[in-house]
Chains A and B, each alone.
Chain A
Amino acid sequence: MNQRITIDPITRLEGHGRIEIFLDDAGEVVSAYFQVPELRGFESFCVGRQAEEMPNITNRICGVCPEAHHIAAAKALDELFGTPCLPAAARIRELIYSAFFVTDHTTHFYCLGGPDFIVGPDAPKEERNILGVIRKVGLDAGKAVIACRARNHELIKKLGGRGVHLCGALPGGWSVAVTPEIADEARQIARQNIEFALFSLETFHRIVLGNAAYRDLVQGDLYAHQTYSMGTVDAHNAPNFYDGTIRVVDPAGNEFTRYRPQEYLDHIAEHVEPWTYVKFPYLKEIGWKGFVDGPASGVYQATPLARLNVADRMATPRAQAEFERFFDAFGCRGTGPGGRNSPVHHRLATHWARLIELLYAAERMQELADHPDLCDPKVRQAVSCRAGVGIGSVEAPRGTLTHHFTCDEHGILTSVNLVVGTTNNNAPIGMSIAKAAKGLIHKGVVSDGILNRVEMAFRLYDPCCSCATHAIGTAPLEVTVRRSDDGTILDRISRG
């Protein structure tokens, strides 16, 4: 008698998601799947519109990462209109984007991923949330989290023209220059962000790495996968969220390939499974070999951890120090090919990597805010329509985000393709869930704590599963154990 366990909807991720776990007669896990009832048809909806509308349409795809879609679309328009972005406008875009990274990574650590460690993976579910974090870390920390989000959102509003769904992007530029007053404010916010990032890292070191049980969890095998890693790097192989070339390293740390975002179709293909709408991108040169690890499998990850794995260094000093500490902790520093770091394959380390990126984003904000030409008024330029193709790419917090537009001579879109951050990680998410489930569920015994540890396997990826936020009510979690032959419900656990 086979059993089927369903976790639907998953807690603490953006959008809907469902985990299906199938047990054999002995109650052992046979397979597990991550399913997303994603909305479809967005690309078709965009065809026939004016291309310059895209930054303001795509930023409504998601309530969480509008900045990523806005900027990726703007970069696609730069190419589509044949107008490279003016330097001052590029600085504004990157400044906004860095502020966005600060807020997004802050939210994930304190609200989504952090509770598993700061409160504890086996703590009562009522406590595994941001309120539990505040109780553990202190009220002042909670105030710092709220203040961090608020000040960066306010800056994005001033620079981007609107708060939640910014509207400043133009082909080849930005709609409004930065005033000296806003530049001063940006500098002050950047300094505060750096202090906050350092505090967050100190908290992670003290509470997570300072706890032997948590350290073992992070460095153990349960959440480890040896896949390829992908991320955008600058000319010195440091991660860059706004611009650069895409670098892929193999599980041993060798550079496998490097390409311009415009060449993504030469390197990435998508596998389709009948049980989900979401596709599974893989490395075209290797091919799809199934949900398996290793250098012979085309599965790759594009996450904060992947971005550190593909990097040789960080571009800012404090982040560089933490980068070295990170690879030292896993015995990977300088042990890879040619003396570069070996990739870290322990996926729970993604939480630490995310905090290093938070620090980098804060430091990068400071660099941009201190730039002598930040207030340069030359942020707009005349553009004219032409038939062609535009591909824009950024590193979204959840992975490499690509917008691909084609338009006719009137600037009307004839095709649209979006590869969003979470889609890149669809295969590794499924693999991580399956491995955790197999390692944790035995003889059909399923507890709340076990299920949370299974959920931790996808939560580390910070998946954003829907083109629009549709979490109904209080997003309860229901686990249903079914007999697979006739669907009879054998047991049900609900929470939330």
Chain B
Amino acid sequence: MMVVIGLGSPFLTDDSVGPRVVRELAGEEHPGVRFVEAHAGGLLLLEELSGTRGAIIIDALLDENLPPGEVVVSGIQRASHNAACSHDCGLPEALDIGRAMGMPLPDDSDISLVAVVARDVTTFSEALTPEVEAAVQRACTAVRSILARKNAGSPAEAS
């Protein structure tokens, strides 16, 4: 089982891009894939990752060096801002804890981050800014591509 997690608030302009991408993809046929919307990182993400063989986390990214709407695909070391939950711990620390507990967790290399550079994550609105709206399909394509690559490595779930 793979899990695809859209992180963010659906009511904070570009912060909603993660849930938005997940909603787009959840309507498609993706056998062996579970889609989740979430709003906080750390231990909560650990529970979603438990028992999976891989994960894709989609989130808004604040980076002044990149233009809004740019889609960045990376490993989890490029920490997503929601994945660092100050109420308990960040995602890398949560994974360390889970592994110490013997939880069945995917390797770091099997966790991908699809981040969309945001323009505005503080205004209450359900609409994305135009740059991020235009990036939604590119982010979806990036997720599909990762899923296809993972499924190619796992024929049992590819059908």
* Closest chain A residue, CB of each to CB of B90: A474
Q: Is the CB of B88 within 8 A of A112?
A: yes
Is A130 in contact with B37, judged by CB distance below 8 angstroms? no
Do A111 and B88 touch (CB < 8 A)? yes
Given A45-B11, A150-B47, A474-B79; A107-B97 close (CB under 8 Å): no
- In the docked arrangement, what's the CA distance between A213 and B21, Å? 52
Is B121 on the interface with A (CB-CB < 8 A)?
A: yes
Query: How many Å lie between the Cα of A139 and that of B82 in the bound state?
Result: 27
**Set B82, B103, B124: member contacting A41, Cβ < 8 A:** B124
Q: Using an 8 Å CB-CB cutoff, how does the interface string of A128-142 with B read, 1 for contact, 0 for none?
A: 011100100001001
A39 close to B86 (CB less than 8 A): no
Distance in angstroms between the alpha carbons of A153 and B96 in the assembled complex = 21
| Known A107-B88, A469-B85, A471-B85: A142·B101 in contact at CB below 8 Å | yes
CA distance A143 to B85 in the complex (A): 20
For residues 1 through 21 of chain B, which have their beta carbon under 8 Å from a beta carbon of chain A?
Answer: 9-12, 15
Across the two chains, which residue of chain A brings its CB closest to B15? A468
**Selected contact of B86 from candidates A13, A60, A130, A165, CB within 8 Å:** A13
Contact among A60, A131, A143, A146 with B11 in the assembled complex (CB-CB below 8 Å): A60
Residues of A within 8 A of B82 (CB): 63, 469-470
The docked-state distance in angstroms from the alpha carbon of A149 to that of B89 is 14
Q: How far is the CA of A13 from the CA of B87 in the complex (A)?
A: 5
**B132 lies within 8 A of chain A by Cβ:** no
Task: Compute how far the CA of A485 lies from the CA of B38 in the bound complex, rounded to whole angstroms.
Answer: 45
Whether B122 sits at the interface, judged by CB under 8 Å, is yes
Are A139's CB and B100's CB within 8 A?
yes
Q: Tell whether B140 is near chain A: CB-to-CB under 8 Å.
A: no
CA distance A111 to B100 in the complex (A): 15
Q: Which of B84, B97, B122 contacts A472 (CB 8 A)?
A: B84
The reply to whether A131 and B86 form a contact with Cβ atoms under 8 Å apart is no
Closest Cβ of chain B: how far from A470's Cβ, in Å? 6
B44 and A474 contacting across the interface, CB-CB below 8 Å: no
In the complex, the answer to whether A468 meets B12 with C-beta atoms within 8 Å is yes
B9 engages A146 (CB within 8 Å): no
Given A63-B85, A472-B84, A165–B37 Cβ distance below 8 Å? Answer: yes
A: contact size bracket: 35 or more
A111–B40 contact, CB under 8 A?
no
With beta carbons under 8 angstroms apart, the residue of A39, A45, A474 that contacts B84 is A474
A residues within 8 A CB of B46? Answer: 146
Confirm or deny: B119 has a beta carbon within 8 angstroms of a beta carbon on chain A: no
Q: How distant is B109 from chain A, measured CB to nearest CB, in Å?
A: 20
* A12 CB, min distance to chain B CBs, angstroms: 7
Docked pose: A139 CA to B98 CA in angstroms: 11
A301 contacts chain B at the CB level, 8 A cutoff: no
Q: When A12-B86, A111-B87, A472-B81 are in contact, do A149 and B96 touch as well, CB less than 8 Å? A: no
Pair A131/B93 contact, Cβ less than 8 Å: yes
Q: Count the A-B residue pairs with Cβ separation under 8 angstroms: how many?
A: 117
Interface centre among A41, A163, A164 (most CB of B within 10 A): A164
Assess whether A130 is in contact with B89, with CB atoms less than 8 Å apart. Answer: yes
Given contacts A41-B123, A57-B11, A473-B84, contact A142 B90 (CB under 8 A): no
State in angstroms the CA–CA spacing of A45 and B124 once bound together: 6
Indicate whether A160 reaches chain B with its CB closer than 8 angstroms. Answer: no
Assess whether B125 is in contact with A45, with CB atoms less than 8 Å apart: yes
Residue of B nearest to A146 (CB): B101
Closest B residue to A465 by beta carbon equals B86
The reply to whether A134 and B81 contact each other, CB–CB distance below 8 Å, is no
Question: A277: CB under 8 A from chain B?
Answer: no
A143 to B101, Cβ gap below 8 A? yes
Contact of B100 among A12, A41, A134 (CB under 8 A): A134
* A183 sits at the interface (CB 8 A): no
Q: Which residues of B contact A63 (CB under 8 A)?
A: 38-40, 44, 82, 85, 87
Scan B92-123; emit 1 where CB is below 8 A from any A CB, else 0: 01001110111100000000000000000111
Q: CB within 8 A of A470: which of B11, B50, B81?
A: B81
The listed residue (A66, A139, A146, A472) touching B43 by CB distance below 8 A is A146
Closest chain A residue, CB of each to CB of B79 = A473
**Is A42 on the interface with B (CB-CB < 8 A)?**
yes
Determine whether the beta carbon of A164 is less than 8 Å from that of B44.
yes
Measured between alpha carbons, how far is A291 from B62 in the docked complex, in Å?
Answer: 37
Q: Nearest residue in B to A464 (C-beta to C-beta)? A: B87
Closest CB in chain A relative to B97 CB, distance in Å: 6
Residues in B whose Cβ lies below 8 Å from that of A57: 11
Indicate if the CB atoms of A146 and B103 lie closer than 8 Å.
yes
**B33: interface (CB < 8 Å):** no
Counting from the closest, the 4 A-B pairs by CB-CB distance are A63-B40, A45-B124, A63-B39, A471-B86
* 11 CB-based A-B contacts, threshold 8 Å: A14-B87, A15-B86, A39-B122, A111-B87, A134-B97, A146-B97, A164-B36, A164-B44, A469-B86, A473-B81, A474-B79
Supply 10 further A-B pairs (C-beta < 8 A) apart from A63-B38, A473-B84. A14-B86, A57-B11, A63-B40, A112-B87, A134-B97, A149-B43, A165-B37, A165-B39, A468-B39, A472-B62
